A and B are shown apart, each in its own frame.
Chain A
Amino acid sequence: MAIVEAPRPLVIPEPVLPASGPMGVFKRPTKTTGWRSWATTIDHKKIGKMYGFMSIVFFIIGGCEALLIRTQLATPNGTLLSAQVYNEMFTMHGTTMIFLVVMPLGVAFMNYFVPLQIGARDVAFPRLNAFGFWTFLAGGIILNSSWILGGAPDNGWYNYAPNSLVTFAPTHGIDFWTVGLLTTGIASLVTAINMITTIINMRAPGMTWFKVPVFTWMSLVGQFMLLFAIPVLTAAQFMLLFDRRFGANYFEVSQGADPLLWQHLFWIFGHPEVYIMIMPAFGLTSDIIPVFSRKPLFGYKVMVISGIAIGFLGWGVWAHHMFTSGMGPVSNAAFAVGSMTIAIPTGVKIFNWMGTMWRGQIRFTTAMLFAVGMFTMFMLGGVSGITHAISPADTQQHDTYYVVAHFHYVLFGGAALVFFGAFYYWWPKIFGHMLNENLGKWNFWLMMAGFNLTFGPQHILGLQGMPRRVYTYLPGYGWELWNMVSTIGSYILAFSVLIFIINVVYSRRKAHAAGQYTCDPDPWDGRTLEWITTSPPPEFDFWEIPDVRDLDEAWHRKYAEDENGRVVRVAKIEDVMDKPTGVIPHMPSPSYWPLVAAFGMLFIGYGIIFSLALCAVGGFLLFVSLVAWGIEPSTEPGVHPVEPLTPDSGESGVAHEIHEVGANV
């Protein structure tokens, strides 16, 4: 797809200062178009788009793995995949979907919309942001390259020791897993630090904590959990890596090690991880439902507080993943009761979403459908979650398809559905044109049908005793029917994703043909700050940092109560939106170093697996780029990607603010 540049009006050049070459070797990058602009960008919106794009690529990869798994299981004694390849498939499917799809998709939306929602111009550490993205990509590449470099990991996404040790997993598969996740872990950590700092420190004037949009709030909670969860995973991964590569004894049973150490460390990370994935989804649902109900979120404060409560409680329940490990009755009882308490704040959220719809004026756009689909499906997953918290019952459900059904209801029904909703909701803001609503509705209903057909029957399969992670099963256990239904469902699900992709391409072509590169800044009658800037927003987000007076600031600028207490529209969005001031805000300049540093990480990663010489190369790259990064100023005078625009050219002042619209997807 061609990159589109609208004709620019008269440019008033700034006084040009000589561009200093960092390290005296490279000139500071200045491109605003073409692949170089993406490689060196530190703009949170471009990085958000790249996160989104890569997540979808990985989503397709992980989805194909899922289809292969389901095809293998469609009938008893399936022979499509060998046991080894099947084990690699489900391991990579789980790892990909969690670490390379749901998490980064949340980060994609956070990257793009958190600064917009809090009225900031970028994140706190833009270059760190770029580094986070490239490092994430490096981790994804390391993980997925295992397929062609000697075998993928084959021990499930939680990779229990000691089956992950060299004795039992002699190929490099587990090393790829360990190193890949350490790399994405670094990306997650820097992103968490960045996002937390941004949200705490860069809220627009007047935006007190209880005026922060719920998506931003939930992102903050989720990123705080990530901040504390990732180091635990990192530590566990290092232990495993040391065991495998350097002969340490952390999980070597013959040396007196206890394999439960891995399980504890993994789930201390892994349980908060569940909330890390679902938190942005909670936030999105809480943002979308009020918009399309034309009502404020029911119980905003309770929603925020329950989110924080889930964030706290999420730290005390990890061992409910280990009820069958023989921890003893006291531990089981404590963690069972602890886990149940999470149902309370979660239930509050669901009822508050219903409360928001109550007496509203509901418009069922695709985004709204997905949001409603999210909380109903998530509720079903939550209910089956309660049955897991009952630890005696969990001994009948653990490691069966019932659990598989449960977490797909939570992660696909919860997180993925509303992420699709968010695409429909925010697409006009990001790309300046709508996604087609007709195709969208097909997308939604087929996805709901496919999703429920795939994962609904798995509840039954699990309760009828089908364990998970079996590459095949014998006839005569009563599992044939539901496995077949589930497989058919998975193809419907895949088809619905295909419709989404068709919709993206179709809508883009249509907008392109119509020459439409910008659209209504506020197509949904939105409530939060991102809707008062243009669609797509200018590089610096806002000409003027908005002055926030209310929760749902955008809405309150448009509506007020009359003397009878009825809500009436008092202004059009055009009147209250952010307008060009004629003064171009200075934004930080692009930089090569985050990309180079991430390349260093990539080399170090492969080096740990294959040869320490590669590590040296990677270490050198990393060191050089970090030093150069430290030396170069964040804003290079005279090197500025945004060419000044005159405020008074064109009627609205937005028509010409087009950089490469939609060049990403």
Chain B
Amino acid sequence: MSDQTIPNYQHVADGGDAAVEHGASDRTYVMVALFLAVMTAFEVATSYTKKALGPFEDLVLLTLMAIKFVCVALYFMHLKYDQALCKRVFFFGVVVASLVYCGMLATFHYWAPHFR
């Protein structure tokens, strides 16, 4: 894993201190995990409403999914605390993937109500 060409160690001490600061407290992590668990419960519950919500059911599920996704990325993956570059690189991938594949499905008329 540590395959850097040129490890430069002149700031080892500083780096060590910085590492302690970075990230949230364990308490925060536990709270986030609890929140995620609750969200998952909501999701499962929503899926059991037997389409009582009509077309909004999918929308609710996708929203909950997005919230969970962002929570894990921001807190567990430290994007909230890390440099913006990491966030940009990762979300660039997520956005490209979403746009491209949604576009592809659109050419199959996937989003039309009569698909299949």
Residues in A lying within 8 Å of B, measured CB to CB: 120-128, 200, 202, 228, 232, 258, 260, 264-265, 268, 315-316, 319, 327-328, 331, 585-588, 630, 633-635
Contacts and interface: CB of A to CB of B under 8 A. Distances in A.
A264 B85 CA distance: 31
A258 B96 contact: no
B85 to A, nearest CB: 7
Contacts of A258: 108
Interface of B: 1-7, 85, 93, 96-97, 99-100, 103-104, 106-109
B3 A122 contact: no
Contacts of A268: 100, 104
B67 to A, nearest CB: 25
A394 B77 CA distance: 46
Contacts of A328: 107, 109
Nearest to A635: B7
A634 B100 contact: no
A258 B116 CA distance: 12
Q: Which of A328, A586, A634: most chain B CB closer than 10 A?
A: A634
Contact of B3 (A126, A265, A586): A126
Contacts of B3: 124-128, 588, 634
9 contacts: A125-B4, A126-B3, A232-B100, A264-B107, A316-B103, A327-B107, A328-B107, A586-B6, A635-B7
A538 to B, nearest CB: 15
B5 A121 contact: yes
Given A228-B93, A315-B96, A316-B103, A122 B5 contact: yes
Given A121-B6, A264-B107, 7 more contacts: A228-B96, A232-B100, A258-B108, A268-B100, A315-B100, A328-B107, A586-B6
A634 B107 contact: no
Contacts of A633: 2
Given A228-B93, A268-B104, A634 B85 contact: no
A634 B108 contact: no
Given A260-B108, A264-B107, A327-B107, A124 B4 contact: yes
Contacts of B107: 260, 264, 319, 327-328, 331
A614 B103 CA distance: 40
Contacts of A265: 104
Contact of B85 (A200, A260, A585): A200
B54 to A, nearest CB: 27
A316 B107 CA distance: 12
Contact of A122 (B1, B2, B6): B6
Contacts of B7: 634-635
B25 to A, nearest CB: 29
A67 to B, nearest CB: 38
B93 A634 contact: no
Contacts of B108: 258, 260
Given A121-B6, A315-B96, A630 B104 contact: no
Contacts of A124: 3-5
A634 B1 contact: no
Contacts of A122: 5-6
Nearest to B6: A121
A126 B1 contact: no
A268 B7 CA distance: 38
A484 B78 CA distance: 64
Contacts of B100: 232, 268, 315
Nearest to B1: A630
Contacts of B93: 228
Given A228-B96, A315-B96, A634 B104 contact: no
A634 B4 contact: yes
A20 to B, nearest CB: 16
B1 A264 contact: no
Contacts of B5: 120-126, 202, 587-588, 634
A135 B45 CA distance: 48
A19 B91 CA distance: 43
A313 to B, nearest CB: 12
Contacts of A200: 85
Contacts of A126: 3, 5
A327 B106 CA distance: 10
B7 to A, nearest CB: 8
A303 B2 CA distance: 36
A587 B4 CA distance: 10
B78 to A, nearest CB: 18
A665 to B, nearest CB: 26
Q: Which of A232, A260, A264, A585: most chain B CB closer than 10 A?
A: A264
B3 to A, nearest CB: 5
Nearest to A44: B5
Contacts of A264: 104, 107
Question: Which 10 pairs, one residue from A and one from B, show the smallest C-beta to C-beta distance?
Answer: A122-B5, A125-B3, A331-B107, A264-B104, A327-B107, A228-B96, A634-B3, A127-B3, A126-B5, A588-B5
A258 B4 CA distance: 45
Q: Which of B2, B93, B103, B107: most chain A CB closer than 10 A?
A: B107
Nearest to A123: B5
Nearest to B104: A264
Contacts of A587: 5
B35 to A, nearest CB: 31
A127 B3 CA distance: 7
Nearest to A319: B107
A30 B85 CA distance: 38
